[in-house]
A and B are shown apart, each in its own frame.
Chain A
Amino acid sequence: MPKFGIVVDLDKCSGCQACSVACAMENNLPSGSADLAEAGRLLRWLQMLPQFEGEYPHYGGQTVPMMCQQCERPPCTLVCPVSATYPSADGIVAQIYWRCIGCRYCVNACPYTMKWFNWFEPQWPGELKDGTNPDVEMREKGVTEKCTFCHHKLQIAKERAKAEGRAIRPDEYVPACAMACPTEAIVFGDIEDPESDAFRKSRGARAFRFLEDLGTNPKVIYLKSM
Chain B
Amino acid sequence: MKLGATAGLGAAISGTGSFVFPKNSNDDELAAAQIHRNLPEDFVASVCSCCPALCQLRLRRVGSKIVGVLPQSPKPCPRAYAIPQEIYHPERIRHPMRGTGARGYRAFETVDRGSAVDEMSRCLLQNPVRSAILLGGTAAASRNLLAEFALAVGCNDVYVEDSSIHQGPVDALRDATGWDRWNFSTLKSNGVISFGFEWLQSSSAFPESMVAFQKMREQNLPIIFVGSRYGTTAMRSKEWVRTRAGYEPLVALTICAHIIKQEKHARSCDAIQGFGDFAKSIAALDVGAFCKKTGVSPREIHRISDILIGRPKILAISCRGRLEDQWPVVLLNIVLGSVGTEQPLLPVQKLASPATAPAEGIPEKIERGDVESLVIVESNPVFGSPNPNRWRNALCKVKRLVVLGTIFDESCAFADVVLPLSCASESSDVYAKVSNSEVTRVKSEPAVPKGADMFDLAHLVFDLAKSPGGKELPWRTLDEYSNSVKTVSPPDLRIDLGKFVTWKDPVFEEGEFHVVPFVPTGFYCQNGGHLPYLLTTAGAHLREFWTTFIEINKETAHRLGIEDREIVILKSGAGEIEARARYYEGVPPDVIGIPLGLGHRIGSFAQKIGGNPSQLFAFRRDERTGAVLWNLQKISIRRIH
Contact = CB atoms under 8 A, between A and B. Distances in A.
Q: Which of B37, B555, B605 has the most CB of A within 10 A?
A: B605
A63 B235 contact: yes
A48 B9 CA distance: 36
A21 B609 contact: no
Interface string B197-212: 0001100001100110
A132 B77 contact: no
B76 interface: yes
B338 interface: no
A127 interface: yes
A125 B604 contact: yes
Contacts of A180: 71, 75, 81
Summarize A's interface: helix, strand, loop or mixed: loop
A20 interface: yes
A22 B81 contact: yes
A57 B588 contact: yes
Interface in A118-165: 125-135, 137-138, 140
Given A21-B537, A33-B605, A126 B9 contact: no
Contacts of B80: 18
Counting chain B residues whose Cβ lies within 8 A of the other chain, the interface size class is 35 or more
Contacts of A134: 33, 36-37, 39, 62, 67
B621 interface: no
Given A11-B217, A20-B78, A126-B89, A54 B585 contact: yes
Contacts of A22: 69, 78, 81
A38 B540 CA distance: 15
B536 A44 contact: yes
Q: Which of A44, A63, A182 has the most CB of B within 10 A?
A: A182
A181 B80 CA distance: 12
Contacts of B277: none
Contact of A25 (B85, B547, B604, B608): B85
B449 interface: no
B537 A17 contact: yes
A63 B5 contact: no
Contact of B210 (A16, A47, A83, A133): A16
Contacts of A179: 70-71
A35 interface: yes
A125 B91 CA distance: 9
Contacts of B2: 83
A111 interface: no
A157 B214 CA distance: 29
Interface stretch (B22-30, B305-313, B373-381, B389-397): B22-30
A82 B85 CA distance: 35
A56 to B, nearest CB: 5
Interface string B203-245: 0001100110110011010000000001010011000101000
Given A21-B537, A56-B589, A138-B29, A183 B213 contact: yes
B84 interface: yes
